[in-house]
Chains A and B, each alone.
Chain A
Amino acid sequence: MRPMRLLGLKTFRHGVHPPESKDETSGLPIRQFPFAPLLIVPLVQHMGAPSIPVVEEGQEVQRGQRIARPDGFMSVSMHAPASGLVRRVALAPSISGRMVPAVYLEPFPGSTQEIEDGTPCPLEATPEEIIAAIQDAGVVGLGGAAFPTHVKLKIPEGKFVDTLIINGVECEPFLTTDHRVMLEESRDIFTGIRYLLKVTGAENVIIAVEANKADAAEHLRETFPSDLNGSVEVLQVKYPQGAEKMLFSALLGREVPSRGLPLDIHALCCNVATTAQVGQLLPRGRGIQERVITVTGPAVKRKGNYRIPIGTPLRFLLEHVGVADDVNRVFLGGPMMGAAAPSLEISITKGTSGVTAFTDTAAERTHSPVYPCIRCGYCVDACPIFLDPALLGKLAATEQFSTMTDEHHLMDCFECGSCSFVCPSHIPLVQRFRAAKAAVRKSKAGAA
């Protein structure tokens, strides 16, 4: 399939146009967020095995000090977001609704909160050393998926990568995290790119930016190091342009095989904020103890882009920025793919790209009545994977799961939610698909 162009801008086929809602925060520079009186650092912030704590109750730690070590390759280190006292190592609520192990850390009041540098990992290091350093720095995908970055960067024997794509698309409405990072941390981004190119062996890098962040694209073009082989590509504004698969279609005209990996098409995609973290942490021998998030939505009073310590409780965060009295929904991430916070007791993790809060009035639109499917085809025109969500929705309603997987590619759905977004009958399509996929996985696990 050839990449599609509209008005000279590349994009993928299908997709939707939710209101962008970024204007209120895109112009606000990143500000440092204060330390909460108690930080709760979950030891499961990434996809994979929980990290193993290396600190004890009552122990004093320095900001940036390692507090947990990886449990195997599919796991990463954790670092102290503040200098303070380890109060407890115990279970804490998480976004999934489950309790997960966590380190409760009480920052020292009045501390200058200097960060301790560790052993740097220079660019001259071998790819293996860089991968180990990235794991040790606790780097995971900051775009939301929180997949351990070093795992992704490990290129298996016999595979190769020709193009590295740095994902600055940020197609999720409301969020302006990556936008600000691109404007304010371009040096770190380019340093990060150098590390990533070294590890992957890619010859070429493409920084992908949506057209609504023209200033960021411009800035990156101006600061693009002349010795780097690559370009900044401005893409059409469309959701879910920031999904890896859509980026490969738009930029390279390549499709990741069903159930395959980007490596199968010799491409690799890394979020721009993740890249900036690599560029910032490795030369200093540090680990992730904070990240940039957008705090926004109709219910938030002081919206903005904040550099926030990992482990900041949601309740503290919202108290600090101020929220409307009738706030009734809070999402980690944006409104298209973000997860609803089950309570305010959970904390900000490495994968949290933003916090969006809605009030009752803004929520009305999802309370609309459900009609039968009128076969309008909007969902078919929206699905970037070219599935038939209307048909899948009907099959899901009657629990015909095996037909869904065997004949209609249910497992290729990546839950972008475009189908539910456009459905004029307000049928909870992606919600049904999630349930169906869970049921299929469960029955498979049962059978195995």
Chain B
Amino acid sequence: MANGGKTLEIRTSPHILSGYSVDTIMFNVVLALLPVTGFAVFAFGLAGLLTLSVALASCVLTEHLICRAAGKPSTIGDWSVTITGLLYGLTLPPSLPLWMVAAGGVIGVALGKALFGGLGYNTFNPALVGRAVLQAAFPVAMTSWIPGFGAGRFSSLPLSTLTLPFTAPEYDAITSATPLALWKFSREATATSDLAMGFISGSAGETSSVLILLGGVYLIARNMMNWRIPASIFATVFVFSGALHLVDPTRYASPVFMLFSGGLMLGAMFMATDMVGSPMTARGCYLYGALIAVVTIVIRTWGGLPEGVMYAILLGNAVTPHLDRWTRPTVYGAKGKEAAT
């Protein structure tokens, strides 16, 4: 007969699952990052390739070794640290000395992720933690940019890349300012088409907005990214900077420029949306996006730095638990209960 002497499995319902799993989601995020990663290598040549490889390797190895040291199975198979490594690499100036790249990767994963308890417990985005530490420790190196599409980019490296650890990097004459710095310090606007396509200088992955959007749209279509967060960031940036621009176009950059310059695209699409650090309720996501947008514009406009997305997202991560609490929806039937009693 059916099932001979075999025992039936007894589990409680539900007996089917959606088929989504952490590793498939994370793997798809990696896929979505590949176009912009490829573009970064294309734009910055060997320097870009080395920066991204060292960033990725330092993050993945750190997680693997920490797991081993703790006597636990390695968690690199869930792909989350691969995302961290790629994102971290994409936020760095491509000419950054490689030892700094490695140091930031180790610190980001060790301090930003492992110390909090690993995946799911990391309050802050580990990629941004690594970058923030570097920004504080090496402000000059972190703001020295080489322009993309240099002639010899596939055959030679910038002088700074192979700087020995703990020595000051030397720079070629060819470093150049990012569009945000150009605006901030000399009120010089960059053409929108150059911004969107990525023909500018900047971090490895801050350059091609179009490819970043493409990756984001893919994830949103697969329900692996909360669309409310980038939507809220973009809308708020547009409205807020648009209002400022209307008041005084010579002092305040245009909203389109604000949207397409710096790390906003990459940050809004791939870092603010990191599930672990962002709110879970719909209203929480809108508020979180708006907060990140406002802080970014404020830093860019009135702060000492040309770019503020990173700090804005870290701040957003910090308030996420509160946002979740404040925006908790009313439970079904709770209203009637209050009315009845």
Question: Chain A: residues with CB nearer than 8 A to chain B?
Answer: 16, 18-19, 173, 245, 249, 255-260, 264-265, 315, 318-319, 322-323, 325, 327-331, 333, 335-344, 356, 358, 363, 365-366, 368, 371-378, 380-381, 384-388, 390, 409, 412, 415, 417, 420-426, 430-431, 434
B25 x A424 contact (CB < 8 A) = yes
**What's the minimum C-beta distance from A445 to chain B, rounded to whole angstroms?**
21
What residues of chain A lie closer than 8 Å to B336, measured between beta carbons?
A: 255-258, 260, 264-265
Pick from B8, B25, B120: contact of A330, CB below 8 A. B8
Q: How far is the CA of A368 from the CA of B23 in the complex (A)?
A: 11
22 contacts between A and B (CB under 8 A): A18-B16, A256-B333, A258-B334, A260-B340, A327-B3, A328-B3, A331-B13, A342-B10, A344-B3, A368-B21, A371-B78, A371-B119, A372-B119, A372-B121, A374-B275, A374-B276, A375-B275, A386-B329, A409-B334, A415-B13, A423-B17, A425-B21
Q: Which residues of A contact B119 (CB under 8 A)?
A: 371-372, 374
Q: Does any Cβ of A come within 8 Å of B1's Cβ?
A: yes
Nearest B residue (CB) for A387: B331
Contacts known (A336-B14, A368-B21); A380 close to B280, Cβ less than 8 A: yes
A372 and B119 CA atoms in complex are apart in Å by: 7
Least CB separation from B335: chain A residue: A255
Contact B120 A372 (CB under 8 A): yes
Would you give the shortest CB distance from B272 to chain A, in whole angstroms?
14
State in angstroms the CA–CA spacing of A98 and B198 once bound together. 68
Question: What residues on A are CB-neighbors of B332 within 8 Å?
Answer: 245, 249, 255-256, 258, 384-386, 412
**Does B118 have its Cβ within 8 Å of any Cβ on chain A?**
yes
Excluding A366-B11, A377-B280, A381-B282, 18 further A-B contacts by CB distance (< 8 Å) are: A18-B18, A19-B16, A258-B331, A328-B3, A329-B11, A331-B13, A335-B15, A336-B14, A342-B8, A356-B15, A365-B19, A371-B21, A372-B119, A372-B120, A386-B329, A388-B328, A423-B17, A430-B12
Closest B residue by C-beta to A419: B14
User: Shortest 5 CB-CB distances between A and B: which pairs?
Assistant: A257-B336, A377-B280, A372-B120, A417-B14, A258-B333
A335 touching B13 by the CB < 8 A rule?
Answer: yes
- Docked Cα-Cα span, A173 to B16, in Å, equals 10
B281 within 8 A of A: yes
Neighbour of A323 across the interface among B3, B9, B21, B279, CB < 8 A: B3
Could you say which of B8, B23, B280 contacts A329, with CB atoms under 8 Å apart?
B8
B3 in contact with A412 (CB, 8 Å)? no
* Interface of chain B, main secondary structure: loop
What residues on B are CB-neighbors of A387 within 8 Å? 331
Do A378 and B20 form a contact, CB below 8 Å, given A384-B332, A409-B334, A412-B331? Answer: yes
B contact set with A: CB distance below 8 Å: 1-4, 6, 8-25, 78, 80, 117-121, 226, 275-282, 324, 328-337, 339-340
Q: Is the CB of A337 within 8 A of B13?
A: yes
**Which residues of the partner chain A approach B1 to less than 8 Å between Cβ atoms?**
315, 318-319
A390 CB → nearest B CB, Å: 6
Q: Is the CB of B3 within 8 A of A340?
A: no
Chain A residues with CB below 8 A from B13, complex form: 331, 333, 335-340, 415, 417, 430
- Whether the Cβ atoms of A365 and B120 lie closer than 8 Å is no
> Are A421's CB and B275's CB within 8 A?
no
Residues from chain B with Cβ under 8 Å of A421 in the complex: 14, 16-18
Known contacts being A264-B340, A329-B9, is A371 close to B18, with CB within 8 Å? no
Task: Compute how far the CA of A329 lies from the CA of B280 in the bound complex, rounded to whole angstroms.
Answer: 34
Complex contacts, B226 vs chain A, CB 8 Å = 377
Q: How far is the CA of A325 from the CA of B333 in the complex (A)?
A: 47
When chains A and B are docked, how far (Å) is the Cα of A18 from the Cα of B78?
24
Cβ–Cβ contact A425 & B280, under 8 A: no
Smallest CB-CB separation from A358: which chain B residue? B15
| Alpha-carbon gap, A315 to B330, bound state (A) | 46
In the bound complex, what is the Cα–Cα distance between A249 and B330 (angstroms)? 14
Cα(A372)–Cα(B19), bound, Å:
17
Shortest distance between the CB of B93 and any CB in chain A (Å): 30
Chain B: minimal CB distance from A89 (Å)? 27
**B residues near A377, Cβ cutoff 8 Å:** 226, 275, 279-281
Cβ A328 vs Cβ B18 within 8 A: no
CA distance A330 to B6 in the complex (A): 12
Determine whether the beta carbon of A341 is less than 8 Å from that of B8.
Answer: yes
CA of A260 to CA of B117, assembled, Å: 42
In the bound complex, what is the Cα–Cα distance between A322 and B3 (angstroms)?
11
CA distance A388 to B329 in the complex (A): 9
B140 to chain A, nearest CB (A): 36
Chain B residue numbers with a CB within 8 Å of A323 are 2-3
- How far does the alpha carbon of A172 sit from the alpha carbon of B42 in the complex, in Å? 51
| B18 close to A375 (CB less than 8 A) | no
Taking the closest CB of chain B, its distance from the CB of A95, in whole angstroms, is 11
- Per the bound structure, the CA–CA distance linking A226 and B282 in Å amounts to 45
Q: A328-B6, A366-B17, A368-B21 are in contact. Are A390 and B337 (CB under 8 A)?
A: no
Once the chains are docked, how many angstroms separate the CA of A325 from the CA of B2?
6
Q: In the complex, what residue of chain B is closest to A365 when comparing beta carbons?
A: B17
Shortest Cβ distance from B66 into chain A, in angstroms? 15
Question: What A residues does B25 contact at CB under 8 A?
Answer: 374, 376, 424
User: How many angstroms between the C-alpha atoms of A331 and B8 in the bound complex?
Assistant: 10
Is B18 a contact partner of A340 (Cβ separation < 8 A)?
Answer: no
Chain B contacts of A16 at CB under 8 A? 18
Question: Chain B's nearest CB lies how many Å from the CB of A317?
Answer: 10
Chain B residues contacting A381 (CB-CB under 8 Å) are 282
Q: How far is the CB of A408 from chain B (nearest CB, A)?
A: 9
Q: Report the bound CA distance from A425 to B118 in whole Å.
A: 14
Contacts of B118 in A (CB 8 A): 372
Contacts of A365 in B (CB 8 A): 16-17, 19
Give the nearest-CB partner of B77 in chain A: A369
Q: Which residues from B are CB-within-8-Å of A342?
A: 8, 10
Which of B9, B117, B324, B337 is in CB contact (< 8 Å) with A258?
B337
Least CB separation from A416: chain B residue: B14
Inter-chain contacts of B331 with A (CB < 8 A)? 258, 385-387, 409, 412
Q: What residue of chain A has the Cβ atom nearest to residue B19's Cβ?
A: A365
Q: Is the CB of B20 within 8 A of A375?
A: no
Q: Least Cβ distance of B228 to chain A in Å?
A: 10
Contact A257 B337 (CB under 8 A): yes
With A340-B9, A340-B12 already in contact, the answer to whether A327 and B2 are too (CB < 8 A) is yes
